Structure 1
């Protein structure tokens, strides 16, 4: 298959990496085409314009890193175990490093905003539902979910900073011990 016949997914993956590295402005057809080793014509085979690519990339991100994660966790019957797996997975594996902070930085962009709003709502609603299953009243469950999600966003932001500023969030540092503490703090006491 010719390199000029990349699949749409090749373009959306490249767009997500560019977005993570440099924000919305870094998602440029000519730059992505060079990175992928193809002509701009390959892009226009699949997308009408840059916003169509950005929308498709964000929908892929939503599907892969929210809907699929939720679906995979739904098989875990014990809500405490489900929440622990969610926390450990989220804090241990940033699949596209820098993507979530970049999206938050561009939350007012007209293509980013609706997807980010939807993903944030899905994630907080899912965490709230787990806390409800654990026996917390609805208002407390919602607050806990917001705290858990805020902690996650802060973790990602700190990971973008200088390695020596907060070495505890770096994967090769104390991160596993800090994640253990986060799990302990975010899980409600048993009983």
Structure 2
């Protein structure tokens, strides 16, 4: 049980909700099971949120923050576009773990929920903008840079999907080298 000195924050609840979303979409976000997982009572939840919908909104906001523009800031700050792309692809590929749940892929099952549409659109846009800008800086014309960014991003999502469903997915180091060779102009 959580003691007074280790009281949970609203962000702790949001992060726990994100783990639940990764494992089972929005339907997996339920207060009582989350409370048990966190080792607290439901009262802890109600100290931060009025209801489940507020928690889902907070979790989605946290995911958009950490996986959108703010989450990409480190990569965006890399001056050399080839190095930026290499670092970005390497980080993505290394984060893909066999059979690991994915918030992004799980949210696709709830894509008709307006909250989900908005945050997925926001995260997709941030990622595509960074990739497009990077390809532009590497010398590709605007339309080609945008197309290359979309194909690279689709491959990234595909790698996530394969890793989530295939226990024999290749290891990250092999994929990182392959991704860099394929997606660097």
> Does TM, scored on the shorter chain, surpass 0.5?
yes
Q: Which residue of 1 aligns with 2:77?
A: 75
Which runs of 4 or more aligned residues in structure 1 lie more than 6 Å from their structure 2 counterparts after TM superposition? Answer: none
Shift in Å, 1:147: 0.3
2:68 aligned residue (63, 66, 69)? 66
* TM-score, scaled to structure 2: 0.90
Q: Which residue of 2 aligns with 1:23?
A: 25
Q: Which residue of 1 aligns with 2:184?
A: 187
Work out the CA distance in 1 between the residues paired with 2:95 and 2:125: 21
Shift in Å, 1:39: 1.4
Shift in Å, 1:94: 4.3
Question: Which structure 1 segments of 5+ residues have no match?
Answer: none
Question: Which structure 2 segments of 5+ residues have no match?
Answer: none
Q: Which residue of 2 aligns with 1:160?
A: 164
Shift in Å, 1:68: 3.1
Of 13-22 and 53-62, more deviation after overlay is shown by 53-62
For 1:31-67, what per-residue CA distance to the aligned partner results, in whole angstroms no more than 9, with x for missing partners?
1011111111211111121121111111111222222
1:146 aligns with 2:150: yes
Where 1:160 maps in the other structure, the secondary structure is: helix
TM-align CA RMSD: 1.9
Q: Go from structure 1 to structure 2 and tell me whether the alpha carbon gap of 1:66 and 1:105 turns closer, same or farther (over 3 Å shift).
A: same
* Aligned length in residues: 181
Kindly report which structure 2 residues correspond to 1:106-117, keeping only aligned pairs within 5 A, or say none: 106-117=110-121
